[in-house]
Structure 1
Amino acid sequence: MVDVTYPLFPIFAFLGFVLSLIPLPWHLQAWNSGTCYFMMWAALACLNQFINSIVWAGNSINHSPAWCEISIRIMMAASVGVPASSLCINRRLYHIANVQKINLGRSEKTRAIVIDSLICVLFPLFFVALQYVVQGHRFDIFEDIGCYPALYNTLVTYFTSCMWPIVIGLISATYCVLSLRAFTRRRLEFSQFMHSNASSLTMSRYFRLMALAMSDIILTTPLAIFTIYLNTKVSPVGPWISWADTHFDYGRIQQVPALLWRQNHVLVISMEFTRWAAPMCAIVFFAFFGFADEAKRNYTKFFWFIVRPFGLKPGASPKSPKLSASIGWVS
């Protein structure tokens, strides 16, 4: 069967990969670890989906078992890595709304980064390891989709896999509500406080972070619940019999032609929804941060860095050298 999303999906996936990484340098400079992890997970998820959509376009051949082993783990890790990053953003905004200083010392910044790393890196790795409990065989390969985790649909799966995005989303929502309440109570004081403290976090960036976090909250929990609903419809929930039963013939690889899996409309919705989530996250992030003032300043700096070897400089004009000296460029 013809994939109507090809080559549209690979284009959007690669675009999501690039766009999510564009604001990374200046967020690294600002020590915004939660935001940086959000970009990294979104970019990694988009790149993973891009490669799969290209390699397995029109086929379900097992081209690279090693890559599929990596790919399915990236997919599983990103499914909690992105919500976990949003949780860290909300957590940071909550602390900012309730503390008396924004500029933290180096030890405090290091401690905040370590905590964010535990949430955004260590937890996704633990989550991936936990999936082996319900992983029925090595992996599946779906034509036009690529490598896909083979999780046995039992009640245990909903506790080891499906519930975590919901839990993370609810914790994020709690932080978000508390941040909004604190900000509402101290609106004028907070505004004066932000302006009186020299910090990389401006009011504009604070509100964009809040908008990103709220968008993720609005989407994460409802979509996670929707995913659970789709899982129950794609195949019946089987009983958990034993470890040996779940992992029987674990080494097999199931290759599914599009002609078969596209006949199940619920499965089609589930598969397409899962893979389109990554580029959509990346594009939403770029919509919030890719057109901000600091982004425009960095684009300008990057432009002049590229054209400087050709003799072009900020404010330079080959036709009017006297005028160029008075124009200048401020970063």
Structure 2
Amino acid sequence: MLYPNEVYTVFSFIGFVLCAIPFYWHFKAWNTGTCLFMIWAGLGCLMQCINSIVWNGNMINRVPVYCDISSRIQIAQNVAIPACSLCINRRLYKVATAKVMMPTDAEKRRAVIQDLMIGVGLPILQIIAQYIVSSNRYNIFEDFGPSSSSVLTPLTFVLIYAWPVAIGTVSLFYCVSAICAFYKRQRLFKQMTSHSQFSRGRYLRLMALSATEMFGTIPLGTYIIVVSAKAGVTPWQGWAATHSNYSEVIQIASFIWRSDPGMANGLEMFRWSLVACAFVFFAFFGFTDETRQFYRRMYKPIASRIGCSRFIFHGPSYLCVVHLLC
């Protein structure tokens, strides 16, 4: 019988694999936002999978350097996925409102740099900002692993909790603008996509992905702000008082944090949200024409060894059925 932690280990590893499968085609198409989305979601699933194995049934302070890295990446992921959604929506808006069909290499490089500043720069800034309100080096939760710790002050809401909602709101603006521009210029858009690798189907899938993520980010971020505010906010007591015990590592048994609904919901919501992002991404991009060709190349030698000489993919890219012919 699998226990909840083992169940998460399996699903998080599957999430990591699902993020890796479509990466090549998006990288080849210069889709920086989607590549960053896969990297952040896949990296989060992989690290949480490792943590659920290493700290399964224990809270030992293993490999402090890794714990530092893992807890800081968790902080970065607070804004990384919303920032990637913002990159996607910005690109979709620019494609929908573009006057030139084929962008130059210089314009492509400029777009990549801008996406990296958003998708990587904002998470790095979040790590720096979290240090200001960090009460200790990190916490170790049994079954969960290392996690960062922050003092719940008004400054924490500004530096940590408000960022996902703010980024999601800006992303919402670009998403709505892109949808309006797309429907106003459908004929021109068809001409543009016919001359580039950025197909109409991929455009719509990207829009659906970013909209799904965005409409999850804003309500979830708002919920976290409300719950944290109800938990009790303490006044900011200054840098010295906040970091007086910074070198401390707090170890928390599973029966303690699982008995606290707020803490348990927060930890489980964080790590399962990464798995959800991976599965949602694969649902939109796991059965495109490119990935179906990859599956065909991968399964062809396997099918021949088990006596199945051919296999056929039936259905559109969003609903794919495989028939093995033996």
TM-score (norm 1): 0.88
Residue 63 to residue 36, structure 1, CA distance change in 2 (3 Å): same
2:92 maps to amino acid: L
Aligned counterpart, 2:220: 223
Please say if 1:244 is aligned against 2:240: yes
Q: Deviations over 1:20-54 (max 9, x none)?
A: 11100111111111110110000111111111111
Aligned counterpart, 2:155: 156
1:291 is aligned, of 284, 287, 304, to: 287
Shift of 1:262: 1.5
Contact 1:48 1:71 in 2 (8 A): yes
Aligned counterpart, 1:187: 186
Please say if 1:264 is aligned against 2:260: yes
Aligned counterpart, 1:321: none
Aligned counterpart, 1:201: 198
Shift of 1:303: 4.1
Aligned counterpart, 2:108: 109
Identity of aligned residues (%): 41
Contact 2:102 2:192 in 1 (8 A): no
Q: Deviations over 1:247-306 (max 9, x none)?
A: 1111111101112112111221111111111111011000000011221022223445x6
Shift of 1:217: 1.2
1:208 maps to amino acid: R
Q: Deviations over 1:149-169 (max 9, x none)?
A: 111111100111111111110
Q: Secondary structure at the match of 1:7?
A: helix
Q: Secondary structure at the match of 2:234?
A: coil
Consecutive aligned runs of 4 or more in structure 1 exceeding 4 Å deviation: none
Q: Secondary structure at the match of 2:136?
A: coil
2:241 maps to amino acid: D
Shift of 1:14: 0.6
**In structure 2, what is the Cα distance between the partners aligned to 1:39 and 1:102?**
27
1:275 is aligned, of 271, 276, 288, to: 271
Q: Secondary structure at the match of 1:152?
A: coil
Contact 2:139 2:147 in 1 (8 A): yes
State which structure, 1 or 2, has the greater radius of gyration over its C-alpha atoms: 1
**In structure 2, what is the Cα distance between the partners aligned to 1:167 and 1:155?**
16
**In structure 1, what is the Cα distance between the partners aligned to 2:101 and 2:16?**
31
Aligned counterpart, 1:118: 117
**In structure 2, what is the Cα distance between the partners aligned to 1:289 and 1:113?**
21
Shift of 1:77: 1.0
Aligned counterpart, 2:58: 59
Contact 1:48 1:74 in 2 (8 A): no
**In structure 1, what is the Cα distance between the partners aligned to 2:192 and 2:21?**
30
2:213 maps to amino acid: D
1:285 maps to amino acid: F
- Spell out the pairing of 1:2-21 with structure 2 (5 A cutoff): 4-21=3-20
Q: Secondary structure at the match of 1:255?
A: strand
Residue 307 to residue 143, structure 1, CA distance change in 2 (3 Å): closer
Aligned counterpart, 2:314: none
Residue 103 to residue 307, structure 1, CA distance change in 2 (3 Å): farther
**In structure 2, what is the Cα distance between the partners aligned to 1:287 and 1:102?**
29
Structure 2 gaps, min length 5 = 311-326
**In structure 1, what is the Cα distance between the partners aligned to 2:122 and 2:266?**
25
Aligned counterpart, 1:35: 34
Q: How many equivalent residue pairs? A: 308
2:210 is aligned, of 202, 210, 213, to: 213
Q: Deviations over 1:227-257 (max 9, x none)?
A: 2223234x42111011111111111111011
TM-score (norm 2): 0.89
Aligned counterpart, 1:322: none
Contact 1:76 1:128 in 2 (8 A): yes
Contact 1:42 1:279 in 2 (8 A): yes
**In structure 2, what is the Cα distance between the partners aligned to 1:47 and 1:12?**
10
**In structure 2, what is the Cα distance between the partners aligned to 1:146 and 1:102?**
49
Q: Secondary structure at the match of 1:147?
A: strand
**In structure 2, what is the Cα distance between the partners aligned to 1:77 and 1:174?**
23
**In structure 2, what is the Cα distance between the partners aligned to 1:187 and 1:9?**
43
Please identify, of 181-190 and 140-149, the stretch whose mean Cα deviation from structure 2 is larger: 181-190
**In structure 2, what is the Cα distance between the partners aligned to 1:103 and 1:33?**
17
